[in-house]
Amino acid sequence: MTNKRKAHPDVATIGAGKDTATGVGAAVQRGVHDHLTTENNQAQEIPIMLTIREAARKSGLSYDAIRKLCLQGKIVFIRIGTKYLINWLRFCEFLNGGGEVDSQ
């Protein structure tokens, strides 16, 4: 006799991935987290933050070159512990000649 337990419907879809409407990434995929609401009830877009390694992979620049830009204060980033998170949109603007960067 086999023991077949029926899983909860949501449990079966957890590993389904980002392409399904019921997977863990479904809320993000549907855009639920695309905006934050501020005190003034104005929608504010959440910036895409990438690690130096991810930014290097997407931009084609080396890890060391991007890290040096962070250390020189030439690009917008935040530092959490020892990890640097780079604002991808502002980084692209910098690469496209925007050049000016606000302080952190």
Does residue 65 belong to any structural domain of this protein? Answer: yes
Can you list the alpha helix ranges (DSSP code H) found in the chain?
9-13, 26-29, 52-59, 63-71, 88-93
Same domain? For 29 and 55 the reply is: no
> What's 66's domain CATH number?
3.90.105
- For β-strands 35-37 and 43-45, DSSP reports them as antiparallel
Task: Please give the average per-residue pLDDT across 82-101, as a whole number.
Answer: 88
Task: Please give the average per-residue pLDDT across 18-40, as a whole number.
Answer: 49
Does residue 38 belong to any structural domain of this protein? Answer: yes
Does residue 92 belong to any structural domain of this protein? Answer: yes
Does residue 90 belong to any structural domain of this protein? Answer: yes
Q: Is the pTM of this model over 0.75?
A: no
Cα–Cα distance for residue pair 31/28, rounded to 1 Å: 5
Same domain? For 67 and 85 the reply is: yes
End-to-end CA distance of the chain: 64
- Domain of residue 72, residue span: 49-98
